[in-house]
Chains A and B, each alone.
Chain A
Amino acid sequence: MNGAFPAVDGALAVVAAWLAIGLAGLLAPRSFRFVAHVLFPLSALASLALAAFGLAAIPGAPQALVLPIGLPDLPFHVRLDALSAFFLVILGLASAGITIFAAGYFRAGEGTAPGVMCLQYQVFLAAMAMVMLADDAYAFMVCWELMALSSFFLVTTNHRIPEIQHAGFLYLLIAHVGAIAILLCFGVLQANTGDYTFANMRAQHLPVVPASAAFLLALFGFGAKAGILPLHVWLPEAHPAAPSPVSALMSGVMLKTAIYGMARVTFDILGPPLWWWGVIALAIGLATALFGVVFAAAQVDMKRLLAYSSIENIGLVVIAMGLAIVFTGYRMLPLAALAMTAMLYHCANHAVFKSLLFLGTGSVLHATQERNLGKLGGLMRFMPWVAVTSLVGVIASAGLPPSNGFVSEWLLLQGLLFTGAIPNPYLRMLVPVFAAGVVLVAALAGYVMVKFFGVIFLGRPREEKLAHAHDAGALERLGLVWLTALCVLMGLFPVQVMQVMDPIPSMLVGHGLVQDGHIGNAFLLAPVSPERASYSPLAILGATLAIAALAFVLVRRFYHGRVRRAAPWDCGYPWQTARMQDTAEGFGQPIRQIFEPFYRMRRELPTAFDAAPRYRVTVEDPMWGWIYVRIATATESVSRVVGRLQRGRISIYLLYSFVTLVALLFLTQA
């Protein structure tokens, strides 16, 4: 592939194709059918091509190009190496499913005109791809901003609703706070050479203080985009506001560009990281994961629930990254490769299953016009396609075998368990505590996912209108099935997936898992050695299916298969209604009680004498009160003081200029 047609040209061609498709949308901005049935399927094909080019480029040598665009002296440098190729594969595979779903999803007359929205959507895709291809700080920042802006417009597709304007503003604000930190980080990395290409930054060997400053700035800047604590506040606002395919794209893919940036700066540009950076990442990651999952359990809006679950998953990815940093810092390379594989695997998994779940909520939203879990229920009978595909996503998201979510959590736990050789005794003591935290997060994720699936799809419909809910259309089904298939395949063939991604740890930490034969055979995943740990999803799935089939046949053979339908038993209580099932609040109540200090809760309880009794619980993010409200009040009081300078009279302003001038003259003379 490298000789005849370089993959980097292919990737750039896909970017150009996306931009062309986006511009084509402007030809007929009002024509809904042209956009949905011609442009979006074409864009999905381009996504598949991107995934293919990425796959071809992962094992190859890095390919670099200089593009004749940009400012006169600052051309765009582009480079495709194993790390960018892997994230391009994630982008291509996930966006193929999301785009084909979107082709069937967007309806005429919702917010922005379809052609304009098509442009925003394609620019968003192209910008994400270019972020992963950029090889100098200038190109990177331009594409990063383009990504933020295009997604801002997509979030505010239904821009007439005040809530959505609010969410969009918050998103834009935090995106820019993060972008400033990234810019500063690149400033530190170029070490006063004035050359902002990544190649030059790699060549600099920074002393400890600037290198650590660069790492912390990168963690903050990219963390704002990824949604680590306490910069996560935009996520649960922006994801529900955006149309579902956009939420899927943002949560599944855009969050990964931030992880890509962190990995790029930490492992590639900065060179071998220091071990204590990893400890910071571990601590932040665990706090983020725990916070995300505890809040996900308390949500009543299905898309907010998924947004908090994304925060949890980003936390797990950051934990894996922290572990990889610790191991690299201590030059324990095989274990660093294991932790990095866990990180990359979880990125890919989350991209697939979270996109799948967000698309599922999109279908539910269209069928019922309802986002509140408390008003859904029993949709499995009316929407079997969405329900079954979501069930796969739910099992993956809960991290249960034999799904893909389990593989990455298993790898992460293996990495956390075998830390006995770490020279630092405090760290050796601390790491198993992180293992305990990860396990708690994984178990809570199961609770959240049972709530999500059970309340939406099972039970009886909580509202009359739900009986008329329709299943997803053909294109939507195609997108859902594509992502489901990816979930299943990545769950059942972990060894093959890890072989594909192996060049990345080889490149970044100088060691791969395959080169020592430490990966097991085609059916048995054994990252260190089979005596130490092994896992075979194919055997588990095969054995459970065989046992279930055998049990089914034997029961029919020796007994019978008779069924009688009757009213539900429910301990003989005949007056039950669908309203007596647990609501989302009810299902989350034990978690709210146990983790009460985490939440800021307001309860309105009815009294015995109310004519219209009313019960309401609102759960708020405490980070607002602890951090954001304080920053806002501090800013306001500072601006009030500064505001006193403004008198609105020209003579006073002239006086200010005069005083400044005199003061400056005085300073230069002295």
Chain B
Amino acid sequence: MNVEGVLAQLAALVAALVLAPLLTGWVNMWRAWLQGRTAPPLTQPFRALHKLFWKESVMAHSASPMYRAAPYAVFSCMLLASMIVPTISTNLPLAPAADAIALVGLFALARLFMSLAAMDVGTAFGTLGARREMLVGFLAEPAFLMVVFTASLISSSTSLATIVASLAHRELTILPSLAFAGVAFTMVSLAENARVPVDNPATHLELTMIHEAMLLEYSGRHLALMEWAASLKLFAYSCAGLALFFPWGIAEANDRVALAFALPVVVAKLAAGGMLLAVIETVLAKMRIFRVPEFLATAFLLGVLALLVRILLGA
């Protein structure tokens, strides 16, 4: 580990912390515009976080230490995930700590803490949210891993840095397996980030909530950490998708020129991705909860198809 590596890692950390709420704000802006509303400013998520951190935290009498610890656990899992995913550089000191499989495991760990915290207070909506979140999770996680496996078969590695490097240097053709995997990945990220066909981040109807139902009891700084963690998750998923399917422009050495070039590239890619997400959320309607397994099973099968196409046809 050298000084440059540490600096690049710190840059990735700061980029994640700053860009994640901005990405959420950007998506919200576009959603508002597409729906013909006046958009909130780009920095609205930061203002909301600041407000929440100032407010006192109201906790139920029945809340146990689990409830207070969970926001910190979820936040640190998500921040670590965003530091491991190649955002501006593939050559990060923390990257070898977790390959793609361990990254999925890290997301699953955060989900476990979140669901347990939701069950902790013992309200009907909390357990409902936890149950639905685990339902989405156990269907989405295998589909995500199928995508990862396809990419790792192409580059014969599960290390994200090696995957990105080998995908960025192949000749510019569309591999059918990667195309299938890309569709599967988009479906999984919509489900995992509580986005529209599966869940609605702006819902106020209790019975349709998944993610929001789990946060229902949270307030003040704990809610702020959970919200920040949610935007970090969206950021990490977006960056993972960009690294797998549009790997060009990520710095492979930690020199300043490459990093300075990589940052605007990733911001531009995220901006394009955020617009696409807003369009998807605007044109699709939310599904009933029991259509979600079909949706995610489709993603899983697409992932398996991608894997088989890669193995059988080498394409």
Contact B122–A571 (Cβ < 8 Å): no
Q: Are A568 and B134 in contact (CB under 8 A)?
A: no
Give the contact-size bracket for chain B: 35 or more
B123 touches A532 (CB 8 A): no
Task: Using known A-B contacts A436-B146, A531-B157, determine if residue A454 contacts B57 with beta carbons closer than 8 Å.
Answer: no
Interface: A292 (CB within 8 A): no
Nearest B residue (CB) for A432: B307
Judge whether A213 is part of the interface by a CB distance below 8 angstroms. no
- Do the beta carbons of B94 and A543 come within 8 Å of each other? yes
| B173: Cβ under 8 A from any A Cβ | no
Shortest C-beta distance, B228 to chain A (Å), equals 9
Q: Is the CB of B311 within 8 A of A569?
A: no
Question: Considering residues A548, A552, A561, which has the most beta carbons from chain B within 10 angstroms of its beta carbon?
Answer: A548
Task: State the Cβ distance, B291 to closest chain A Cβ, in Å.
Answer: 12
Chain B residues near A561: list those with CB within 8 A.
221
Given the complex, which residues of B lie within 8 Å of A380, measured CB to CB? 64-66, 120
Q: Are A548 and B73 in contact (CB under 8 A)?
A: yes
Q: When chains A and B are docked, how far (Å) is the Cα of A435 from the Cα of B76? A: 29
Stretch at the interface among A114-122, A130-138, A585-593: A585-593
* Pairwise interchain contact B53-A559, C-beta atoms closer than 8 A: yes
* Stretch from B104-112, B253-261, B262-270, B271-279 contacting the other chain: B104-112
Contacts of B97 in A (CB 8 A): 524, 534-536, 539-540, 543
Q: Does A414 count as interface, using CB distance less than 8 angstroms?
A: yes
On whether the beta carbons of B106 and A401 are closer than 8 Å, the reply is: yes
**Total CB contacts across the A-B interface at under 8 A:** 258
> Are the C-beta atoms of A563 and B109 separated by less than 8 Å?
no
Interface segment, B23-31, B36-44, B148-156, B186-194?
B148-156
State whether the Cβ of A576 lies closer than 8 Å to any Cβ in chain B.
Answer: yes
- Tell whether, in the assembled complex, residue A530 and residue B96 are in contact, meaning their CB atoms are under 8 Å apart: yes
Report yes or no: B99 in contact with A534, Cβ–Cβ below 8 A.
yes
In addition to A450-B119, A539-B98, A566-B60, 20 A-B residue pairs with Cβ atoms within 8 Å of each other are A380-B120, A406-B105, A410-B105, A446-B111, A447-B137, A450-B116, A453-B116, A454-B130, A458-B119, A532-B158, A535-B99, A551-B225, A562-B56, A565-B60, A565-B61, A576-B123, A580-B123, A580-B124, A591-B135, A593-B290
Q: Are A446 and B138 in contact (CB under 8 A)?
A: yes
Known contacts: A439-B141, A450-B134, A531-B159. The answer to whether A381 contacts B64 by CB under 8 A is: yes
Knowing A446-B137, A532-B159, A551-B75 are in contact, say whether A569-B217 is a contact too (CB < 8 A): yes
Contacts of B131 in A (CB 8 A): 582, 586-587, 589-590
Is A440 on the interface with B (CB-CB < 8 A)?
yes
- Interface bracket on A: 35 or more
Given contacts A459-B121, A580-B124, whether A436 and B142 have CB atoms under 8 Å apart is yes
CB of A398 within 8 Å of the partner chain: yes
Q: Are B137 and A443 in contact (CB under 8 A)?
A: yes
B308 at the interface (CB under 8 A from A): yes
Q: Which residues of A contact B65 (CB under 8 A)?
A: 380
Q: If A450-B134, A565-B60 touch, does A544 touch B101 (CB 8 Å cutoff)?
A: no
**A-B residue pairs in contact (CB < 8 Å), sample of 29:** A401-B102, A413-B101, A436-B142, A440-B138, A446-B137, A446-B141, A447-B135, A447-B138, A453-B116, A459-B62, A459-B121, A524-B96, A536-B96, A539-B94, A539-B98, A540-B80, A546-B76, A548-B72, A555-B221, A561-B221, A564-B57, A564-B59, A565-B58, A565-B59, A565-B60, A566-B59, A581-B122, A582-B127, A590-B132
Q: Complex Cα distance A432/B312, Å?
A: 11
Contact bitstring A416-433, B, C-beta under 8 A = 1, else 0: 011010000000110011
Q: Mark A252-284, 1 if CB is under 8 A from B, else 0.
A: 000000000000000000000000000000000
Contact B102 A417 (CB under 8 A): no
Given contacts A587-B131, A590-B135, contact A570 B158 (CB under 8 A): no
CB <8 Å contact, B119 and A454:
yes
A578 at the interface (CB under 8 A from B): yes
Cα–Cα distance between A535 and B122 once the two chains are bound (Å): 36
In the complex, are the beta carbons of A547 and B75 less than 8 A apart? Answer: yes
Q: Does B304 contact A (CB under 8 A)?
A: yes
A544→B122 contact, CB < 8 A:
no
Does A400 lie at the interface of the complex (its beta carbon under 8 Å from any beta carbon of B)? yes
Q: Is A236 an interface residue (CB 8 A)?
A: no
B108 and A443 contact, CB distance less than 8 A: yes
Instruction: Give chain A nearest CB distance to B219 CB in angstroms.
Output: 8
Contacts of A428 in B (CB 8 A): 311
Are A458 and B141 within 8 A (Cβ)? no
- The reply on A661 being an interface residue by CB < 8 A is no
Complex contact A446–B116 (CB within 8 A):
no
In the A-B complex, the 10 residue pairs with the closest CB atoms: A459-B122, A460-B122, A539-B97, A547-B76, A568-B60, A582-B127, A454-B119, A570-B123, A443-B138, A536-B97
Contacts A414-B158, A417-B153, A568-B217: A429 and B142 contacting too (C-beta < 8 A)? no
Contacting pair B105 A432 (CB below 8 A): no
A448 to chain B, nearest CB (A): 9
Question: Would you call B162 and A531 a contact (CB within 8 A)?
Answer: yes
Type the 1/0 row for A520-545, where 1 means its CB is closer than 8 Å to any CB of B: 00001010001111111001100111
Q: How far is the CB of B230 from chain A (nearest CB, A)?
A: 15
Is A377 among interface residues, defined by CB-CB distance under 8 A? yes
**Residue of chain A at shortest CB distance from B138:** A443
Q: Which residues of B contact A582 (CB under 8 A)?
A: 119, 124, 127-128, 130-131
- Separation of A90 and B199 alpha carbons in the complex (Å): 45
Instruction: Decide if B98 touches A401 in the complex (CB within 8 Å).
Output: yes
Residues of A within 8 A of B128 (CB): 582
- A459-B120 in contact given A532-B156, A566-B60, A571-B216 (Cβ < 8 Å): yes
Chain A residues numbered 22-53 whose CB sits less than 8 Å from any CB in chain B: none
Among A400, A410, A561, the most chain B Cβ lie within 10 Å of the Cβ of A400
- Partner of A559 from the list B54, B99, B112, B162 (CB cut-off 8 Å) is B54
Given the known inter-chain contacts A406-B102, A568-B217, please indicate yes or no for A454 contacting B159, CB distance below 8 A: no
Q: How many Å lie between the Cα of A420 and that of B77 in the bound state?
A: 33
A129 CB–B CB distance under 8 Å: no
Which residues in window 450-467 of A have CB below 8 A to B?
450-451, 453-455, 458-460
Q: Are A533 and B60 in contact (CB under 8 A)?
A: no
Which residues of chain B have C-beta atoms less than 8 A from A555's C-beta?
53, 221, 225
The reply to whether A544 and B73 contact each other, CB–CB distance below 8 Å, is yes
Say yes or no: A536 contacts B98, CB within 8 Å: yes
B284-315 interface (Cβ within 8 A of A): 290, 293, 300, 303-304, 307-308, 311-312
Selected from A432, A451, A534, the residue in CB contact (under 8 A) with B149 is: A432
Q: Does B145 contact A (CB under 8 A)?
A: yes
A395 and B105 alpha carbons, distance in the complex (Å): 11
Indicate if the CB atoms of B124 and A576 lie closer than 8 Å. yes
By beta carbon, the residue of chain B nearest A532 is: B157
Of the residues B54, B102, B156, B304, contact of A540 by C-beta under 8 Å: B102
Bound CA–CA A449/B312 (angstroms): 36
By a CB distance below 8 angstroms, the chain A residues around B106 are 401, 540
B159 A460 Cβ-Cβ under 8 A: no
Assess whether B12 is interfacial by the CB under 8 Å rule: no
| A378 interfacial by beta-carbon distance below 8 Å | yes
User: For residue B304, which residues in chain A have a CB less than 8 angstroms away from its CB?
Assistant: 432-433, 436
A443 and B216 alpha carbons, distance in the complex (Å)? 25
Q: A429–B308 contact, CB under 8 A?
A: yes
Q: A435-B149, A439-B141 are in contact. Are A562 and B105 (CB under 8 A)?
A: no
Chain B residue numbers with a CB within 8 Å of A638 are none
Q: In the complex the two chains form, is B216's CB within 8 Å of A545's CB?
A: no
